[in-house]
A and B are shown apart, each in its own frame.
Chain A
Amino acid sequence: MSEPAVHITGVTKRFDDTVAVRELSLVVPRGSVYGLLGPNGAGKTTTIRMILNIIVPDSGTISVLGRPHLDEAVTNRVGYLPEERGLYKKMQVRRVLRFLAELKGVKPKVADQRINKWLERLELTTAEKDWGNAKIDELSRGMQQKVQFIGTLVHEPDLVILDEPFSGLDPVNSQALKDTIVELKRDGKTVIFSTHLMDNAERLCDSVCIVAHGEKVLDGEVAAVKAARGTRNVALAIDGEVSGAVRHVLADPRLVARMDDQNRYFEIELAPKADPQELLRNVVAAGANVRRFELISPSLHQIFLERVGAKGVEEGMSGHG
């Protein structure tokens, strides 16, 4: 458990004139759930592809499970779900899965047993119908996603890398995915996933790394990242209409540095030296029916917006000099 699951040191990757990833270093602890967060085009997919040795970094080193990531033995212990999903359309489900398993060095017989178990578990094999013998393009979109997911895990990898796994999932499958991630962690596996859905990341991840424009903005354990921000945030929930007077108070720059207005719920970052009690008094005085007023650590969402909003737009747009 001592060696990290993934250790990236000073990795840079350029495509033509644009820098996709610049001097990125990060450590993914073994047995953790790790979130790679960032806006679109931040370099998440490039980073993941470099970990998987699909593309080669221009400089820097990457080690996976304590070995250089070029090692084939390492490749066989990694499971990957790409952002753009797809399988051989004209192939039977079982044959596709067996192929993917064999590519990871699983013996055909072992693969068949595992595939059957998975197909039953994800309800692709039921009493009425065995979808395992159907061709991929006969399956619904949801079923295809399940098959792809089996393909990612069928070789029982120690490290699972999921690129935007939640995109395109309905709530039911989304929940199933969360359950599976938790289960993988319980079995001692390491899970890395990229997302721009901060709520999922905050609830699931042990550690995160936020990247923007190819550079690391911050990383570390979620608890530590949040603790470092102190408790300078206020969660404010209001029942009924939010009047203009209340909004006027919330716009007071002496008290409020930044606010995430979600209509009836506000996450407020207090201005430096502002007194939260004064804010509460003013809000009540303005006639608000306050249901919740709590001093909290900022949410990942807030931290993300704060850090990426500043850095991403201004420095990012200037093209890093």
Chain B
Amino acid sequence: MGKVFVVFKREYLERVRSKWFIIATVLGPVFMGLITVMPIVLAARTKSSAQLSNVVIIDATGSDLGARVSQALLSTTPEAPAPRVRVVKAEQVPAEETRATTEVMQRGAVGYLVLDANTLGGKEMRYAGRNATALIDVQSIERMVRQSLLNMRLEREGIDPSRVAMLTAVRLETKTEKISDRGKEAGSGLASLFFGYGIALVLYMMIAIYGQSIMRGVLEEKTTRVAEVVVSSVKPDVLLTGKIIGSGAVAVTQVTAWLGMSFLMYLVRVPILKSFGAAPAMMGGAMKIPTVAPMIGVALFLFFVLGFAFYAALFGAVGAMVSNQEDIQQAATPVMLMLVSSIIFMQPILLNPSSTLAVTMSILPFSAPLMMPLRMALVAVPWYEIVGSLASVTVGCVIAIWLSARIYRVGLLMYGKRPSFRELGRWIRMS
């Protein structure tokens, strides 16, 4: 109908033109990008701190272990000062430690490493320094000492040093792949986990943000009394429909813009990451985009549309029920509870996407729009479950809209205290 379009147009244009929308749309991907990039950048930064080799090595092993470790450390951070190796006797260690501590305090070194008979025996070594709490630094030092010790032992067994280097060069990285009923899928298992999580979270965010903005919009129409002028021209149902479609279209616009900008950022990810100082090798597997089959894409969209309509209608009714800002949060609690309860169960469903809980939550109309897409991203959900879930959400949606339209019609012109559930029942019968 033409008038739905008029209401839709106003709702859409006014929201899209608002400063808030523009800021959120532009900053959203930047923010998301930062969240994705920062860990990689941070990981790159802490991989081995630039001063890793700027240490004192107190070598009481009576072997050349200290020198070997020094070599290994220097090779990781060639720009930093080389380690100072002090070969000492076992009883001199405490005095050397005191001296090294002073050096660290005066910033002559980052830390000191004690290698002794225990180290030779493969039991322990000690490290003290400013970066002693930096897990990655300590791990790299430990790895190098272990490697050096191993090399030394092998050479003592008479193996040629060049063969040792070759034999011990084991650089292992794990690449994961997901196997579903359809066979192997592109992208890593971890990626599809993030993908599913991301979809559910975006759906949740959009429903919470735009659903509530409908609620506030309806309340505004009530408090400013525009509602009466508008409903003298269009039926309340038409008004509610137009508002829901309008807000939904704004949400779709925003997500589309986010996706588009994220994709652009993905295309130029290498220079961006480089500018942050990350090694290009790190950007391979972790950032592969999982593929989405067209049918799944359609189903995802349907779940979004239906889920949004379900909650938007209920939020609209809540907005029409109350007459002031103070009451609105309280009145919205039942609706928010339904929405939040779906999110609370996200964790267990992530861990076990085929459990009874997961299946139930992905069929119930109020949680299905969030949980079904999540499960679909994680495992191959049988088609009949998807269809059943869609049917259930559709029915729930029709009921929600029917109820809401009735509450809306009566509530829009009612002012005063918030109605009780009994009064709401009467409103529903009344219209």
Q: Do A and B come from one complex?
A: yes
Check if A119 is an interface residue, CB within 8 A of chain B. Answer: no
| Chain A residue at smallest Cβ distance from B221 | A88
Q: Which of A54, A78, A88 contacts B228 (CB 8 A)?
A: A54
Q: Mark B1-18, 1 if CB is under 8 A from A, else 0.
A: 011001101100110001
Contacts A99-B6, A99-B10 given; does A88 touch B224 at CB 8 Å: yes
Interface residues of A in 264-302 (CB under 8 A from B): none
Contacts A54-B413, A90-B14 given; does A100 touch B2 at CB 8 Å: no
Residues of A within 8 Å of B, CB-based: how many? 30
Specify which chain A residues have a CB less than 8 angstroms from the CB of B10 in the assembled complex.
95, 99
Contact yes or no, A82 B225, CB < 8 A: yes
Query: Shortest CB–CB separation between residue A52 and chain B, in angstroms?
Result: 5
Specify which chain B residues have a CB less than 8 angstroms from the CB of A227 in the assembled complex.
none
Docked pose: A110 CA to B2 CA in angstroms: 17
Contact yes or no, A88 B413, CB < 8 A: no
Interface residues of A in 176-200 (CB under 8 A from B): none
Contacts A75-B232, A80-B232 given; does A103 touch B3 at CB 8 Å: yes
Docked pose: A80 CA to B232 CA in angstroms: 7
Query: Shortest CB–CB separation between residue B407 and chain A, in angstroms?
Result: 15
Docked pose: A75 CA to B231 CA in angstroms: 10
| Chain B residue at smallest Cβ distance from A15 | B430
Contacts A91-B14, A99-B10, A104-B233 given; does A55 touch B224 at CB 8 Å: no
How many B residues are at the interface, by size bracket?
20 to 34
Q: Mark A69-92, 1 if CB is under 8 A from B, else 0.
A: 000100110101010111111110
Specify which chain A residues have a CB less than 8 angstroms from the CB of B289 in the assembled complex.
none
Docked pose: A82 CA to B230 CA in angstroms: 10
Check if B391 is an interface residue, CB within 8 A of chain A. Answer: no
Docked pose: A308 CA to B18 CA in angstroms: 52
Docked pose: A49 CA to B413 CA in angstroms: 10
Check if B293 is an interface residue, CB within 8 A of chain A. Answer: no
Q: Mark B206-242, 1 if CB is under 8 A from A, else 0.
A: 0000000000000011011110111111100000000
Most chain B beta carbons < 10 A, residue from A99, A103, A151: A103
Q: Which of A88, A91, A103, A148 contacts B234 (CB 8 A)?
A: A103
Specify which chain A residues have a CB less than 8 angstroms from the CB of B3 in the assembled complex.
72, 103
Docked pose: A100 CA to B10 CA in angstroms: 10
- Judged by DSSP, the binding face of A is loop
Contact yes or no, B224 A100, CB < 8 A: no
Specify which chain A residues have a CB less than 8 angstroms from the CB of B231 in the assembled complex.
54
Contact yes or no, A151 B229, CB < 8 A: yes
Docked pose: A285 CA to B14 CA in angstroms: 74
Contact yes or no, B224 A78, CB < 8 A: no
Contact yes or no, A85 B413, CB < 8 A: no
Specify which chain A residues have a CB less than 8 angstroms from the CB of B413 in the assembled complex.
49, 54-55
Check if A105 is an interface residue, CB within 8 A of chain B. Answer: yes
Contacts A52-B232, A80-B232, A99-B10 given; does A105 touch B224 at CB 8 Å: no
Specify which chain B residues have a CB less than 8 angstroms from the CB of A52 in the assembled complex.
232
Contact yes or no, B232 A100, CB < 8 A: no
Specify which chain B residues have a CB less than 8 angstroms from the CB of A102 in the assembled complex.
6, 9
Contact yes or no, A80 B224, CB < 8 A: no
| Chain B residue at smallest Cβ distance from A151 | B229
Query: Shortest CB–CB separation between residue A18 and chain B, in angstroms?
Result: 14
Query: Shortest CB–CB separation between residue A163 and chain B, in angstroms?
Result: 9
| Chain B residue at smallest Cβ distance from A137 | B224
Q: Which of A55, A75, A91, A148 contacts B233 (CB 8 A)?
A: A75
Contact yes or no, A78 B232, CB < 8 A: yes
Specify which chain B residues have a CB less than 8 angstroms from the CB of A88 in the assembled complex.
14, 220-221, 224, 226
Interface residues of A in 99-138 (CB under 8 A from B): 99-100, 102-105
Contacts A54-B413, A89-B224, A103-B234 given; does A80 touch B229 at CB 8 Å: yes
Docked pose: A86 CA to B226 CA in angstroms: 5
Docked pose: A85 CA to B232 CA in angstroms: 13
Contact yes or no, A105 B2, CB < 8 A: yes
Contacts A99-B6, A103-B3, A103-B6 given; does A86 touch B224 at CB 8 Å: yes
Interface residues of A in 23-75 (CB under 8 A from B): 49, 52-56, 72, 75
Docked pose: A55 CA to B431 CA in angstroms: 9
Specify which chain A residues have a CB less than 8 angstroms from the CB of B226 in the assembled complex.
86-88
Specify which chain B residues have a CB less than 8 angstroms from the CB of A95 in the assembled complex.
10, 13-14
Docked pose: A100 CA to B6 CA in angstroms: 9
Contact yes or no, B14 A82, CB < 8 A: no
| Chain B residue at smallest Cβ distance from A76 | B233
Specify which chain B residues have a CB less than 8 angstroms from the CB of A78 in the assembled complex.
232
Contacts A55-B413, A91-B14, A105-B2 given; does A100 touch B233 at CB 8 Å: yes
Contact yes or no, B233 A82, CB < 8 A: no
Query: Shortest CB–CB separation between residue A87 and chain B, in angstroms?
Result: 6
Query: Shortest CB–CB separation between residue A73 and chain B, in angstroms?
Result: 12
Docked pose: A95 CA to B14 CA in angstroms: 9
Query: Shortest CB–CB separation between residue B169 and chain A, in angstroms?
Result: 66
Q: Which of B13, B221, B224, B232 contacts A54 (CB 8 A)?
A: B232
| Chain A residue at smallest Cβ distance from B10 | A99
Contact yes or no, B230 A103, CB < 8 A: yes
Specify which chain A residues have a CB less than 8 angstroms from the CB of B224 in the assembled complex.
86-89
Interface residues of A in 150-185 (CB under 8 A from B): 151
Query: Shortest CB–CB separation between residue B321 and chain A, in angstroms?
Result: 17
| Chain A residue at smallest Cβ distance from B235 | A53
Docked pose: A95 CA to B3 CA in angstroms: 16
Docked pose: A53 CA to B413 CA in angstroms: 13
Query: Shortest CB–CB separation between residue A8 and chain B, in angstroms?
Result: 17
| Chain B residue at smallest Cβ distance from A152 | B229
Specify which chain A residues have a CB less than 8 angstroms from the CB of B232 in the assembled complex.
52-54, 75, 78, 80, 82
Interface residues of A in 199-216 (CB under 8 A from B): none
Contacts A90-B14, A104-B233 given; does A82 touch B228 at CB 8 Å: yes
Docked pose: A85 CA to B426 CA in angstroms: 28
Docked pose: A148 CA to B10 CA in angstroms: 17
Contacts A54-B231, A103-B233 given; does A84 touch B225 at CB 8 Å: yes
Query: Shortest CB–CB separation between residue A64 and chain B, in angstroms?
Result: 12
Query: Shortest CB–CB separation between residue B308 and chain A, in angstroms?
Result: 23
Docked pose: A49 CA to B225 CA in angstroms: 14
User: Shortest 4 CB-CB distances between A and B: which pairs?
Assistant: A86-B225, A86-B224, A103-B233, A84-B225
Interface residues of A (CB under 8 A from B): 16, 49, 52-56, 72, 75-76, 78, 80, 82, 84-91, 95, 99-100, 102-105, 148, 151
- A sample of 21 cross-chain residue pairs with beta-carbon separation below 8 angstroms, ordered by A number, consists of A16-B426, A49-B413, A54-B231, A75-B232, A78-B232, A80-B229, A80-B232, A82-B225, A82-B228, A84-B228, A87-B229, A88-B224, A88-B226, A89-B220, A89-B224, A95-B10, A99-B10, A100-B233, A103-B7, A103-B230, A151-B229
Beyond the given pairs A87-B226, A88-B224, A95-B10, 13 more chain A to chain B contacts, judged by CB atoms under 8 angstroms and listed by A's residue number, are: A49-B413, A82-B228, A86-B225, A86-B226, A87-B229, A88-B221, A100-B229, A102-B6, A103-B3, A103-B6, A104-B233, A105-B2, A151-B229
